[in-house]
Amino acid sequence: MSDGIYINVLPLPAALVSGVASGIWQTPKNRDVRLSLFPADEVVQPLLYALVDTQGLDSWVGMTGPGYLGRVDEWIGPGDIDQSRAVLIGDLGPDKLIALDYRQSEARPSVIALTSHEHFSWRRVADDIESFMQAILLSE
């Protein structure tokens, strides 16, 4: 595990580490870009976490129940989150988290966000961090 940066034994994607190092990993100032991935009423005060602020398993201590963990949802995938297989990378405001989801792939985690439409549920917003960064116009 000496190559790369790990949070709770999960490797951060190279594109995220590179984006932080180069300074492009910043909350987009253009509100229209931010809204392209999320329902307008979900975006309160978006923030992409700096690498030093990126949180893993330790940040989940005490956060239980469907309000944070979600629940399996056949209509909005995945619906829930496995705290031991996720790293928080940002939020859309209070209790509206954005995370890397490593359940399908440790090499290419998807990006999921906690939304509160009808009930709290985690939904996939991008297949990987590169797609997420491209969608919110973060590129080198």
Is residue 111 assigned to a domain? Answer: yes
The larger pLDDT score, comparing residue 106 to residue 84, is at: 106
Is residue 40 assigned to a domain? Answer: yes
Mean pLDDT score across all residues of the chain:
82
Residue indicated by tokens 């940066």: 5
DSSP one-letter code for 80 = B
Is residue 116 assigned to a domain? Answer: yes
Q: What is the pLDDT of residue 38?
A: 82
* Cβ partners under 8 Å of residue 55, min gap 6: 7, 49, 87, 88
Is residue 125 assigned to a domain? Answer: yes
SS3 15: helix
With bands split at pLDDT 50, 70 and 90, how would you rate the model's confidence at 44?
A: confident
Q: Which two tokens stand for residue 127?
A: 């297949």
CB-based burial of residue 62 (10 Å sphere; 0-12 exposed, 13-18 middle, 19+ buried)?
exposed
Is residue 45 assigned to a domain? Answer: yes
Is residue 140 assigned to a domain? Answer: no
Domain count, the chain: 1
pLDDT beyond 80 at 7: yes
Is residue 64 assigned to a domain? Answer: yes
For the chain, strand residue ranges (E) read 6-7, 10-11, 47-48, 78-79, 86-91, 97-101, 110-115, 121-126
Is residue 1 assigned to a domain? Answer: no
For residue 70, the enclosing domain spans: 6-135
SS3 102: coil
The larger pLDDT score, comparing residue 10 to residue 55, is at: 10
